[in-house]
Structure 1
C-alpha cells in the first residue's frame, strides 16, 4: 500500500511539474438541426437545419506533452425545424395535416473534453483529436422568430418560448483539427466538431398538448476556428 501511494504521489508531482495552461479564443460557425421523434398519430420528425454561430474563450490544460484537458465558456446557437401531424378536432371536415415550428436557442455552454495531439506532422503543425461532453444552459429562445408563442390549437394561450425547452442540455462532443505554431506563444487552430444532444428538450407538447413520447434533441456540426495566446 505504501509503495502504491508513493507511486501515485510521484505521478501526480510529475504531472504538476509538466502542467502547462494555454488560453485562447474560438469562433464556431455551424449547422444545427433537431432530431425529433414520436409514435403515431403525432409522428414528430426533424425538418430543415439552420445556420448557427458560437464563440467564446477556452483553456487547454496540458498534463503531458500530447494530452490536454479542455474547457471554457461559450455562447452557442442551436436549434432547427421540426414538424408533426396536427389532428382535426373541429366539427368541420378538415383533414389532419403537418404543422411545423422553427426553434432557435442560444446556450451558455461549458465543455469538458480531452484533446489528444500528435507529434509534428510538418514543421510547427500538429493534429488533434477531441472527445468528451458539455453542459449547456439556454439564455434565449425563439419559436418562429418570436420570444412568445400563441398556440391556436390550445385556446390561443400565449406562452414564453423559453418555457418550451428544458433548462439544461447535455452533449457528447467529438472533433478533430490542426494546430499551427505562429510564434513563441501564439497558435492558430482549425477543425470540425460534432455535438450530439442527449437531453429531450420538449417541455410543451407532452405537458400542454397531450402528445405521447415526444423527443426533440439538438445536433450541431461546427467549424472551429481559434487562436491561442
Structure 2
C-alpha cells in the first residue's frame, strides 16, 4: 500500500518538470482532534485536541488564469485524546468498570488532490483563493500515550505496537481559503486556513483485539497554511 502511494505521489509531482506550473513550500501548524463513535456501552468520546505540525512541497498546475489543480507531498501530524468505558480485573478475579483516556499521535505522508480557484486582484499584487478537494495518506509513525508500544490497562500482558492500531490508509475532504501576494516576478507569499475532514475509520485495535463493537475513530484537522512559491 505504501509503495502504491509513493508511486502515485511521484507521478503527481514529476510532470512539474514539463509543464507551466508554480512550485512552493508550505508549513502548516494545526489543531487536530479525533471523532470517535460507538455504542453507549463503551461511550467513546473526543476528550482533547492536539497541537500538530505539517509541511512539504506543493505544485499548482494552472489550466486557466484563475484555476489550478493542486497537489504535492506533505508530512502531516494528526491525532488527539479519546476517552472510553472499559473494565479492569480486580485482585479477586472480578471486573470493575473504569473510564480510560488514550492519547493518539499520528504522522502521515499525505498526497493532496485539490482545485484552487483564484479571484482577480483584490488589492495591488494580491489575490484571494479558495481550495476544495481531498487527499490520500499513509501513516508513517504512531504513538499511544507517547510510546511506540502500548500496554492495555485491561491486560498488562498484552503489549502491541502502536502502528498496528492504525489502518494503512486514510482519506480526507479538504476545504480552505487564503490570500496570495506577489513579491516579485515569480515569488509569491501565501497564507490561509484549511479544514481536513477524515473519511476513514482508522481503528484496527478496539474491535479486533478487544472485541468492542461498532467503534469508529476518524481524523479532523484545522490548519494555518503558510507558504512560499518560487
Same fold by TM-score, threshold 0.5 exceeded? yes
- In structure 1, the partner of 2:225 is 224
Determine whether 1:168 maps to 2:169: yes
Give the SS at the match of 1:210. coil
Runs of 4+ in 1 over 2 A off after TM superposition: 87-95
- In structure 2, the partner of 1:209 is 210
- In structure 2, the partner of 1:62 is 62
- In structure 2, the partner of 1:182 is 183
Give the SS at the match of 2:174. strand
Who wins on radius of gyration, i.e. which is larger? Answer: 1
- In structure 2, the partner of 1:53 is 53
Cα contact 2:88–2:153 (8 A) shared by 1: no
How far residue 47 of structure 1 moved from its aligned partner, in angstroms, is 1.1
Give the SS at the match of 1:96. strand
Give the SS at the match of 2:191. strand
Q: How does 1:1-229 map to 2 (within 5 A)?
A: 20-88=20-88, 90=90, 91=92, 95-154=96-155, 156-229=157-230
Cα contact 1:23–1:60 (8 A) shared by 2: yes
Structure 1, 194-203 or 19-28: larger mean CA deviation = 19-28
Q: How far apart in 2 are the matches of 1:93 and 1:24?
A: 59
Q: How far apart in 2 are the matches of 1:159 and 1:191?
A: 39
> Normalising to structure 2: TM-score of the pair?
0.89
Give the SS at the match of 2:212. coil
Cα-Cα RMSD: 1.4
Give the SS at the match of 1:119. coil
- In structure 1, the partner of 2:14 is none
User: Which runs of 5 or more residues in structure 1 are unaligned?
Assistant: 1-18
